[in-house]
């Protein structure tokens, strides 16, 4: 029965005219009677053109929010507690009727972050509530698609997101059928204006493909160079832009220019805020102000009763004077109480390292009393870590492996997946240097031998050189003739791990566990490709307890500067003599030897009842 739509215990019968409606109602009632299903007449509405169904008002003109619910939201007072903020759920339910809803709600969602002792809305949040109420009261009616009416896409891009509106021509006016918006990936934000506007068309067509395929439609954009892009020579564009143009040409060649002021819906959608990767970086002006207000710091400066040697240092960007501890080689800013959780979040949320690693990361760059105690407490309270990490109660004996003689001489490669599809990728190809434990993780769409061999060649060999030894498992990709020929061509000796014995490749398996834990710990694990770069930064810069340095430091000979860092640990007031520096670095690197990990030297532990039992 194509005229009947059911959802749990709600049933909607839609007909083009009254006569056919009577026939449809009779047919549905007959079907219900055949299956012994009773309905209450008081809960039924027959023969009307407008009705409320599943929280929406359905009419011949289209679909829109129920007026009663909108009035309830309009009369809702300004929230004075977290409980009263529950009305945001109702606004969220109707967000598809409000272009740019995410941007409007940003101040409100920011106010819900963390666990504030005292609930208080900022002036921006109060203004956002008023705007949301007004926007919902003026909510756009989304019309029904008509296969005979002309279609048009109105698209736009900003430096943070792209957006589009699918419109249908009704009585010589374009009416919206649906809205689309998507935040840009970090790499996409660096595209040129032309590249981002082209990407907006490409992604909008992909999103509405099920409604556009086989139909003629117009694309409206406020970026005039796009109107002739399909007619220009391909050598003018990058390979990525050529691919996008090729995809667009399969659906339409009609791209027209429209003034930005006439493209407001798509423009609003493209102004979404970046939530996923946005880090609350340290503002040194705020830090200085908080230091002036911090009673703990003021007492330390007056009494001088502390192991900290506090002096003022100018910040590297704008010269703002910040109180720093000078007991170590690198000045470490003193963090006031109000900003300590922010500093912790900047470092811990990269890859969600453990308490010891998080403490080392922060302690090398900032300081405050009881830093270790605070960090350990916050790591224990991190719900993402508790939900995704494995706590082992036994310590199994660790295998002993021969150590390589030089960096990048021995590489372990493996695959992770299948993972939830993200930006067209389902798998990760990983490589780990045995000497430094420096890892890379490359998203790939499939795990064919050709893709794996290409990923290894392009992302490892061309950067770190040809390895002497390559360790793999016995996967079909690595046992293929193509991969074996590649190993022979590179002059690399290949070692196979024992089948069904992951302990033989334990370093890689441990890295995979850490990597997957870090990806799952983020707010939207299904978009793991967007978090991956920052996660890898966190893993590479985590200090190894046994080596007392990070994998990145062993590879580059220097530490990497992280988000919100006050002073680059490598900053030197004296100019380096390049020739002497290279000689010193070579001498230093030649003396480096791999260190047995703490895990390789830890004591074996198995509970007594487990060591004596015969079955588990």
Q: What tokens were used for 349?
A: 């949320």
Predicted pLDDT at 292:
84
pLDDT at 503 (0 to 100): 64
Burial class of 38 by CB neighbour count within 10 A (0 to 12, 13 to 18, 19+): exposed
CA torsion 453-454-457-462 (nearest 10°) is -170
CA 477 to chain CA centroid, Å, is: 29
Place of tokens 């194509």: 2
CA distances from 306 to 326, 327, 569 (A): 12, 11, 24
CA dist 342 and 324 (Å) reads: 18
At the topology level of CATH, where does 65-137 sit? Answer: Alpha-Beta Plaits (3.30.70)
Query: Residue 199: what pLDDT?
Result: 94
d(CA 361, CA 272): 32
Give the bridge partners for 496, in sequence order.
Answer: 472
- State the DSSP code for 185: P
CATH assignment of 151-269? 3.10.20.370
Q: Which fold has domain 410-591?
A: Nucleotidyltransferase; domain 5 (3.30.420)
Task: Give the residue range(s) of CATH 3.30.420.10 domains in the chain.
Answer: 410-591
How confident is the model at residue 572, as a pLDDT? 45
Domain with CATH 1.10.340.70 in the chain: 284-388
Rg of the Cα atoms in the chain: 30
What per-residue confidence (pLDDT) applies to 273? 39
pTM of the predicted model, to two decimals? 0.42
- Whether 437 and 550 have beta carbons less than 8 Å apart is answered as no
What is residue 102's predicted lDDT score, i.e. its pLDDT? 62
Within the chain, which residue ranges are assigned CATH 3.10.20.370? Answer: 151-269
pLDDT of residue 241: 92
What's the confidence (pLDDT) of residue 268?
46
Write down the pLDDT at residue 287.
82
What pLDDT does 598 receive? 46
**Separation between Cα atoms, residue 95 and residue 179, nearest integer Å:** 10
Residue owning tokens 């941007």: 103
The pLDDT, as a whole number, for residue 604 is 56
Task: Please name which of 198, 202, 223, 212 lies closest in space to residue 166, comparing C-alpha atoms.
Answer: 212
Three-class DSSP category at 73: helix
Token readout for 431 is 């490589």
**Does domain 284-388 bear CATH number 2.130.10.10?**
no
Q: Which residues of the chain have pLDDT under 50?
A: 264-265, 268-269, 271-279, 569-576, 595, 597-601
Residue 310 parent element (H or E): strand 310-314
The predicted pLDDT at position 261 comes to 54
- Backbone angles phi and psi of 179, in degrees to 5: -110, 155
């Amino acid at each position: 029965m194509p005229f009947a739509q059911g959802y749990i215990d709600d049933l909607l019968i839609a007909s083009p005219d009254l006569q056919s409606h009577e026939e449809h109602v009779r047919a549905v009632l007959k079907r219900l009677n055949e299956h012994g299903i009773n309905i209450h007449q008081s809960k039924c509405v027959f023969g009307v053109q407008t009705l409320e169904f599943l929280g929406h008002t359905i009419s011949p003109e289209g679909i829109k929010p129920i007026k009663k619910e909108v009035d309830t939201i309009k009369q809702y007072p300004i929230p004075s507690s977290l409980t009263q903020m529950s009305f945001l759920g109702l606004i969220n339910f109707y967000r598809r009727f409000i272009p740019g809803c995410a941007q409007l709600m940003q101040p409100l969602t920011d106010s819900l972050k963390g666990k504030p002792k005292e609930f208080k809305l900022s002036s921006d949040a109060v203004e956002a509530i008023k705007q949301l109420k007004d926007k919902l009261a003026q909510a756009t009616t989304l019309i029904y698609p008509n296969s005979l009416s002309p279609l048009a896409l109105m698209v736009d891009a900003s430096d943070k997101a792209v957006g589009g509106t699918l419109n249908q021509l009704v009585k010589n006016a374009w009416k919206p059928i649906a809205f689309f918006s998507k935040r840009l990936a970090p790499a996409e934000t660096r595209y040129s204006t032309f590249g981002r506007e082209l990407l907006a068309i490409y992604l909008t067509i992909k999103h509405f493909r099920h409604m556009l395929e086989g139909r003629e439609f117009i694309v409206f954009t406020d970026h005039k160079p796009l109107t002739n892009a399909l007619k220009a020579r391909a050598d003018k564009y990058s390979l990525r832009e050529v691919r996008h143009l090729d995809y667009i040409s399969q659906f339409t060649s009609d791209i027209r220019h429209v003034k930005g002021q006439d493209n407001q819906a798509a423009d609003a959608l493209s102004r979404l805020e970046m939530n996923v990767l946005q880090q609350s970086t340290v503002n040194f002006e705020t830090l200085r102000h908080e230091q002036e207000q911090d009673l703990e710091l003021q007492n330390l400066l007056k009494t001088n009763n502390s192991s900290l040697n506090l002096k003022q240092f100018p910040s590297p960007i704008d010269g703002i004077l910040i109180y720093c501890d000078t007991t170590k080689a690198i000045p470490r800013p003193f963090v006031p109480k109000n900003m300590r959780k922010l500093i912790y979040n900047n470092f811990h949320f990269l890859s969600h390292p453990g308490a010891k690693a998080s403490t080392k990361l922060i302690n090398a760059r900032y300081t405050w009393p009881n830093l270790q105690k605070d960090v350990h407490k916050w790591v224990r309270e991190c719900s993402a870590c508790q939900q995704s990490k494995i706590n082992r109660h036994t310590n199994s004996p660790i295998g002993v492996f021969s150590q390589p003689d030089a960096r990048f001489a021995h590489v372990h490669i493996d695959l992770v997946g299948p993972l939830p599809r993200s930006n067209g990728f389902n798998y990760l190809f990983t490589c780990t240097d045995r000497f430094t434990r420096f890892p890379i993780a490359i998203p790939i769409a499939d795990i064919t031998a050709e893709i794996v061999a290409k990923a290894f060649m392009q992302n490892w060999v061309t950067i770190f050189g040809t390895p002497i030894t390559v360790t793999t498992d016995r996967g079909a990709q690595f046992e293929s003739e193509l991969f074996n020929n590649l190993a022979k061509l590179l002059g690399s000796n290949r070692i196979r791990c024992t089948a069904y014995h992951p302990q033989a490749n334990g370093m890689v398996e441990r890295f995979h566990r850490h990597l997957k834990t870090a990806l799952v710990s983020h707010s939207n694990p299904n978009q793991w490709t967007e978090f991956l770069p920052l996660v890898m930064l966190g893993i590479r810069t985590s200090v190894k307890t046994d080596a007392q340095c990070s994998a990145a430091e062993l590879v580059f000979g220097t530490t990497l500067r992280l988000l919100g860092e006050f002073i680059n640990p490598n900053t030197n007031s004296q100019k380096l003599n390049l020739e002497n520096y290279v000689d010193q670095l070579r001498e230093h690197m030649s003396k480096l030897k791999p260190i047995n990990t703490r895990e390789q030297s830890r004591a074996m532990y198995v509970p007594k009842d487990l060591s004596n039992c015969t079955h588990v």
